[in-house]
Chains A and B, each alone.
Chain A
Amino acid sequence: MNADILVELTYLLSAILFVVGLKRLQSPATARGGNALASFAMLLAIIATLVDTDILGWTGILGGVALGGIIGGIAARKVEMTSMPEMVGIFNAFGGGASALVAVAEFLNSPTVGMSTAGVSMLLGTVIGGVTFTGSFVAFAKLKGLITGNPITFPGQNATNGVLVLGTLALGAMTLGVFGGQDPATLFYIFCGLSLLLGVLMVIPIGGADMPVVISLLNSYSGLAASAAGFVIGNMVLIIAGALVGASGLILTQLMCKGMNRSLANVVFGGFGGTAGVDRAQIGKRPVMRADAEAVAAELGYVNSVVVVPGYGLAVAQAQHELRKVGDLLEERGVDVKYAIHPVAGRMPGHMNVLLAEADVSYEKLYDLDEINDDFAKTDAVLIVGANDVVNPAARDPQSVIAGMPILDVDKARRVIVMKRSLSPGFAGIDNDLFYSDKTLMFFGDAKNSMSDLVREVRELA
């Protein structure tokens, strides 16, 4: 058996292990092993490539690996779990950027490639990778608060973007010499610039609340860019791994859109998150029932079942650990405690689950919307921490801006306790009738302080 076949078989094994590794993510019990398997698959692919390529100079390769490894390793160790969306955002940028550079380098090797499979793949790799690169940076900056999280819009934005897309396509065709013999290298540089610009313009009009969708979509793009790079260098393992990531990102994108009851087109072109048509002056003017920590402890400590609904406010206040203490104390008193997690509770898919897992909440107590919604009618008390739109009954009103959004049916429980800073609206910018219901108690304050008070009061219960 010659070396070529051995290399190809190693690539094949690598592709198989990527799929098996992802399959093991189907259960928390096997997921860690699955991730290890996927990283082994990556190692195999890298070794096969090093063996297969006639490497002229090792210095650059080893230097790049060392530098990238140090940066990646430190980032992975240091990152706070609340910052995972930013981390994934910036990593998407790097993945897309790497794929784009591969395509760019190959094009510059043979700028006169012309209208061919190779030429089209190179330009596709460049544009998808370029859009992923700058788009992810903008998403990162929005999440990090470096630029405003609000949609950045200007008149004729969608038309401008449309023209830019068409322009990029036309320029791509010119670069491949479809319209005769211009200088392809110069055209290609402009094409690269347009790709980068496109990434920025596509993400700036999207609001902070829609970031879970954007991050998922860019994740998908980073996979597609890798696939395109695979077509460029004719490597099947790149095509396969890229397709897997592309599929994964797309599935998560669809789930996030469903969680907000919006179409992908609406997210990408909508500029959602404003307050048009809502009378803000009326928000928070109606009377509510207030409760302090002592009263809330009494409401939670003497019942059979409590469902906790954590929202992003919990993560912002870093109150997960105190929340878990409250949960533990209630369980010691014989209360059945569950956690209900809305698909868009955090800033990326599954974000809240990670934050609760970090606070040592057993994953078996975390329920998603479909699993828990029928239970609320049998629940004694619901404790909502820093969530708003995802429990707003207005979603059932066809006239509302959030009409049709899947919500947690907390208003079916016997008692609802809302822990929140104020009556200010959530991202949708509308009032929440739940707060004014006669079964709701408002427990105002910073989530962390309120939760510490609650820990103390539950401890003091008889």
Chain B
Amino acid sequence: MGELMIGLYVFVLAALAGREVITKVPPTLHTPLMSGANAISGIAIVGAIVVAGRAEGTTQMVLGVAAITMATVNVIGGFMVTDRMLSMFRKR
């Protein structure tokens, strides 16, 4: 089985697992869910590090560093703002 097929299996199964887990998130937490998911999409930082780390030419370096910067904004900002929101959800 080629790498593409393995990747497709992983993608489809992960999406199904995600669907099972996320359908059960109550509406009251949908905004934190979205900003948390948003932070997770900052996983592109992994790809950005690979690109910038291996870069030999200037173009690749610039693209890689720009990607790292954007992905880090996403990761740090996303997780922090989600935490800030969730800290407000209190039971009285």
Segment 206-241 of A: residues with Cβ below 8 Å from B: 215-216, 219, 222-223, 225-227, 229-241
B residues less than 8 Å from A363 (CB atoms): 28, 89-91
Measured CA separation A351–B33 after assembly (Å): 11
Check A81 against B85 for contact (C-beta < 8 Å). yes
Check if A95 sits within 8 Å of B35, measured CB to CB.
Answer: no
Q: How far is the CA of A21 from the CA of B39 in the complex (A)?
A: 12
Which B residues touch A236, using CB under 8 A?
Answer: 7, 10
Instruction: Determine whether A368 belongs to the interface, using a CB cutoff of 8 Å to chain B.
Output: yes
Instruction: Find chain B residues with CB under 8 A from A46 CB.
Output: 45-46, 49
Q: Identify which of residues 73-115 in chain A touch chain B, using a CB-to-CB cut-off of 8 Å.
A: 73, 75-77, 79, 81, 84, 87-88, 91-92, 94-99, 101-102, 104-106, 108-109
Which of A57-65, A310-318, A405-413 touches B?
A57-65
CB distance from B7 to the nearest CB of A (A): 5
In the bound assembly, the distance between CA atoms of A63 and B68 in angstroms comes to 9
Interface flags, B35-74, vs A, CB<8A=1, else 0: 1111111111111111111111001110111111111111
Whether A53 touches B49, Cβ cut-off 8 Å, given contacts A76-B76, A102-B67, A353-B29, is yes
Chain A residues near B84 (CB-CB < 8 A): 76-77
Q: CB of A54 within 8 A of chain B?
A: yes
- Check B15 against A246 for contact (C-beta < 8 Å): yes
Q: Note all chain B residues with C-beta closer than 8 A to A222.
A: 38, 41
Cβ-defined contact, A22 with B77, below 8 A: no
B72 and A72 form a contact (CB under 8 A) = yes
Most buried by B among A79, A108, A219, A244: A244
Which residue of the partner chain, among B23, B28, B43, B55, contacts A242 with CB atoms under 8 Å? B43
In whole angstroms, how far apart are the Cα atoms of A350 and B18 in the complex?
19
Does B17 belong to the interface (CB within 8 Å)? Answer: yes
Assess the A350–B31 pair: CB atoms within 8 A: yes
Q: CB distance B49 to A49 under 8 Å?
A: yes
Does A193 sit at the interface, judged by CB under 8 A? no
Assess A244 versus B14: contact at CB under 8 Å? Given A91-B74, A235-B46.
yes
Please determine whether A243 and B18 come into contact, CB atoms closer than 8 angstroms.
Answer: yes
Residue A160 CB within 8 A of the other chain: no
**What are 25 inter-chain pairs, A to B, with CB distance below 8 A?**
A25-B29, A28-B29, A34-B36, A42-B42, A50-B49, A67-B69, A72-B80, A91-B77, A92-B41, A95-B42, A95-B70, A97-B70, A101-B64, A102-B64, A117-B4, A227-B11, A243-B12, A245-B38, A245-B40, A247-B22, A248-B22, A249-B34, A360-B92, A363-B91, A368-B28
Known: A25-B33, A42-B75, A242-B11. 17 other contacts (CB 8 A): A22-B25, A22-B33, A45-B46, A46-B49, A68-B69, A69-B73, A92-B38, A101-B70, A219-B34, A226-B41, A231-B4, A234-B7, A238-B44, A357-B85, A357-B88, A362-B91, A364-B91
**Chain B interface (Cβ < 8 Å from any Cβ of A):** 2-4, 7, 10-12, 14-19, 21-56, 59-61, 63-92
